[in-house]
Amino acid sequence: MRNKWAVKLVLFFSITAFMLAGAPVYGEVRHTSIPDVVITQPSGNFEGYFPDITKAANGDLLVVHYWATQHVGDNGSIVMKRSTDGGLTWSSAQTIVDTSYDDRDASIMKLADGTLLLSWFTYTPGIGAVDVRVKRSSDNGATWTNEVIVGTGLAWSAVSAKIIELSNGDLLIPLYGRVAGVPRDRATVVRSTDKGLTWPSSSEVTLAASGTIGMNEEGIAELENGHIKALVRSAGGDLSGYEVHSFDYGASWGAPQKLDAKIHAPELFRIPGTDKVFQAWSEVGSPYGRAVTVRMGYLNAPWSSGHSEFLYTHTGAGDMGYSGTVLLSATDLLTVYYDASKRIIGGTFSNIVDWEKDFGPKLDLKAMYNAGSLTVATDMTWTSPTYPDVGVASVFDGSTDYWHSAFKNTEAPASYIIDLKSDYSVSKLGVALKPGYTESADIYFSNDGINWGSPAQSYSNANTTEVDYKLFGQNMPVRYIKVQVTASSGWAGLNEIELYGHRVPDAPLMSAQPLSPTNGSVTLSIAYPEHADQRKYSIDNGPLTDYSGPIIMTSNGKVEAYSISDAGISSAAATFTISNIDRLAPEVSLLSNGTEMGDSAAFLENDVLAITVAASDAQSGIESVAITWDGAPYEQGTQLDLRGKPGAHTVSAAVYDAAGNRTERTAIVLVQTDVNTMKALLAAYAASGELQNPLGTQLQNSLDQVVHHLSKGRLAQAAHHMDNFLKHIRNGPRQDEISESAQAALIADAQYLIQGWTP
């Protein structure tokens, strides 16, 4: 055992993990160049490399990693850190492996029974890798057993990925190394049938080997019972990664299939209860450093069906990555990695949806700016003939060079506001602040340029030397983007803004004919913009239907129309409500003196009578009302003179609503008279001067005789005297004794009564 007391002394003290400002937001990747949490920082010359992570049976998160002075050294040990709050904070380090070798590249996993297995390999400077070893813990990592050496036929062996537990209970550990006398690495698996207590070399099977390139650093996962998938790093050639499958629990393996990614240290596992396979690796040769890269896979789907996204980048840094990922919940993830340039082990929170989304193409902001379809309002307008690439438009030129930035020739605050002139659905934002200098800034999105809400992205004393990306958990509706630089070292600067997503199609325009009330149908036309790839509408929240031409609406309803792009981005709903179709006739009642008449009503001829109509229409409203009395037009509410009009009369009302629906109501008005009524009329006419004596006296005498005979039941005699009444009124009067109207009324009454008395 080498003397490492100095290192252990440093690690023994409590070290709390450094958290960036703001707690992680599960469900989206906040930064691709800034860790959500820094788990390990350097101590003197020592720093962390090659981390892995698992969740213990008690819920604690455990990170193990190599602790050494350099990537390959002679003094490395394996340490473990613990989080009891879901990865937000971390304990001080506990040394769990420190042999006489250089102990490195640790991986940790949990068996179904809660047992933890730690695997790593030993290394001797000047000689190389020696062997692979395994320790176990049955108390959530508080204590560890002595190690056992994994048997192998390789001359030397190493490991970079965790042990897996198969559905049949066996364990497989992925090794790589060389057979004596063979110049190239190969990948193998060794099986344990006793939960990792022993790893006999007789169980070893070659997973991948080639006569032209080396195969190493494989990661493995059981996708379905007996079906194991491996991702393998290659050494030599074009450095492409490979995919290998076994369908017999790892007893045999198919031929390696070349992939379109340059893979170092892959990891993969199936998301429980789904057909999704999380796959991550460190992309060698990437312009963003050896970037931690993720591609979500699916059962029975080829590699090409997925797409890759960067989880953590550091431009120009080659010594970084080697990720380990753990499920925090059914959907939330924490991925850990190292960055030797920053001398840290960091962690990034994400959600499964982050790796399934198609974030869309990068918007060509430069072309939009040049075409005038994007405008900028900013106080970062400094220019210089010495630096021709400095200016407002440099923010879109794709260069992270310092002199391809926009500057304000004073310190912050400074602002840079972009108007995209149309609505966009943004799923990914890239930002580079002033290169090489610390700045603080908030980036806001808005639909109207007035209401900005909370920042979509924030930086606090950040030194961005590359474009930093945020992957939004859900697409963001954006027209305006505001970068507000709140603090700066020297002049305020902005280097790059990138947006990924799709233009939101313009909403359709709808028109209808007729717009006035109608008892027919309405024709609705929808005009879609040319850039609408799909043209859809729905009626009354029903299913979306393809629009092929004008819609004939036979009833009222709400129509919603959408322009949809091939990317599935929908416009806001254009809404048109049809409410002018009215097929219901008005409700109508005839009223006599304000009381509903029904089908008929009776009145004495000296009664007062005025006819009105009560009409209502709940939809288009009453348009017109026409009333007739015995077929002649009648103005409703006008008082009718019933004198001299005995008998049945017909009153009719025709009511139209604004849509043309018609309701007609008819009632019979029976005007009644008798001798006493006639005597009352004589008195009224006399009082008004329309009847003079001696005619008035003669008529009164005739009516008295009529009353006398009626009281005796002698109708014929009554009719005779009423006939005398008629003779007096027709033949005897002087012109000034009775008015024409009184004469006509009394004659009509007399004739009406005589007719009633005569058989």
- Predicted TM-score (pTM) of the model is 0.77
Decide: helix, strand or coil at residue 198.
coil
Provide the 8-state DSSP code for 152. Answer: -
Our CA angle for 352, 355, 356, nearest 5°, is 90
CA distances to 33, 363, 427, 485, 701 from 500, rounded to whole Å, are 17, 6, 6, 22, 111
Distance from C-alpha of 116 to C-alpha of 136, rounded to nearest angstrom? 5
Q: Phi-psi category of 633—alpha, beta or left, where left has phi over 0 and alpha has psi -120 to 50?
A: beta
Q: Could you give the CA distance from residue 273 to residue 638 in angstroms, rounded to a whole number?
A: 83
Secondary structure (DSSP) of 641-697: --TT--EEEEEEEEEEETTS-EEEEEEEEEEE--HHHHHHHHHHHHHHTSB-TTHHH
How far apart, in Å, are the Cα atoms of 163 and each of 109, 122, 262, 305?
7, 17, 23, 27
Q: Residues with Cβ < 8 Å from 739, sequence gap 6 or more?
A: 685, 690, 691
CB 501 within 8 A of CB 424: yes
The one-character DSSP state at 445 is: E
Give the angle 72-134-291 at the CA atoms, nearest 5°: 45
> In angstroms, rounded to a whole number, what is the distance separating the alpha carbons of residues 224 and 219?
16
CA neighbor of 605 nearest in space, from 635, 645, 637, 639 = 645
Q: Which amino acid is at 537?
A: Y
Burial environment of residue 695 by CB neighbours within 10 A (0 to 12, 13 to 18, 19 or more): buried
Q: Measured between alpha carbons, how far is residue 640 from residues 164, 505, 610, 628 in Å? A: 104, 68, 6, 12
What's the start-to-end Cα distance of the chain, in Å? 146
Q: pLDDT value at position 473? A: 87
Give the C-alpha distances (Å, rounded to integers) separating 690 from 86, 629, 645, 693, 741. 110, 26, 18, 10, 9
Q: In this structure, are residues 199 and 190 in contact, taking their beta carbons and an 8 Å threshold?
A: yes
Q: Which two tokens stand for residue 681?
A: 């009329």
- Quick: pLDDT tens for 206-257: 999 999 999 999 999 999 999 999 999 999 889 999 999 999 999 999 999 9
Q: How far is CA 494 from CA 313, 405, 454, in A?
A: 20, 6, 20
How would DSSP label each residue in 308-346? EEEEE--TT--SEEEEEEEESSSSEEEEEEEETTTTEEE
Instruction: Measure the CA–CA gap between 313 and 342, rounded to whole angstroms.
Output: 12
Amino acid at 169: G
- Residue-level pLDDT at 12: 27
Question: Residue 668 has which token pair?
Answer: 């019979």
Q: Which among 573, 551, 555 has a CA at the least distance from the CA of 563?
A: 573
Which residue's structure tokens are 């390990």?
Answer: 40
Helix axis angle, 675-688 to 695-711, nearest 10°: 160
Whether omega for the bond prior to residue 174 falls within 30 degrees of 0, making it cis, is no
In this prediction, residue 736 carries a pLDDT of 83
What is residue 93's predicted lDDT score, i.e. its pLDDT? Answer: 98
Q: Which residues contact 632 (CB under 8 A, 6 or more apart)?
A: none
Predicted local distance difference test score (pLDDT) of residue 759: 80
AA identity, residue 702: S
- Give me the pLDDT at residue 669, please: 97
pLDDT for position 711: 92
Residues in CB range of 116: below 8 A, 6 or more apart: 54, 56, 62, 108, 109, 110, 136, 137, 138, 140, 141
Both tokens assigned to 751? 């004739």
Give which of 123, 112, 145, 13 is closest to 74, Cα–Cα. Answer: 123
Task: Kindly state the helix (H) or strand (E) to which residue 726 belongs, with its residue range.
Answer: helix 715-731
Residue given tokens 């550091």 in the structure block: 314
**Could you tell me which residues are beta bridge partners of residue 407?**
493
Quote the strand ranges of 514-608, DSSP E: 522-527, 534-539, 545-546, 551-553, 557-564, 574-578, 587-592, 595-596, 600-604
Give the pLDDT confidence score for residue 732 in this predicted structure: 66
- Residue 441: other Cβ atoms inside 10 A: 27
Q: Which tokens sit at 294? A: 């993720």
Specify whether the CB–CB gap between 30 and 470 falls below 8 A: yes
The predicted pLDDT at position 73 comes to 81
**Per-residue confidence (pLDDT) for residue 550, from 0 to 100:** 98
Domains defined along the chain, listed by start: 5-356 (2.120.10.10), 365-503 (2.60.120.260), 509-578 (2.60.40.10), 587-672 (2.60.40.10), 675-757 (no CATH)
* Of the candidates 534, 544, 526, the residue with the CA atom closest to the CA atom of residue 565: 534
3-state SS, residue 105? strand
Could you tell me if 688 and 730 are in contact, meaning their C-beta atoms sit under 8 angstroms apart? no
Rounded-to-integer distance, Cα 679 and Cα 681, Å: 5
pLDDT means over runs of 10, the chain (759 residues): 30 32 60 98 97 99 98 92 98 97 98 99 94 98 98 98 98 98 97 99 98 97 98 94 98 98 98 98 93 97 94 95 98 98 98 92 98 98 98 97 98 98 96 97 98 97 95 94 98 98 95 97 97 96 97 97 93 96 96 94 93 95 96 95 94 97 97 93 92 92 93 92 91 81 92 90
Judged by DSSP in three states, 16 sits in: coil
Count how many residues are written for the chain: 759
For residues 759 and 136, give the distance between their C-alpha atoms in angstroms, rounded to a whole number: 128
Q: Cβ neighbours of residue 631 under 8 Å, at least 6 residues apart? A: 650
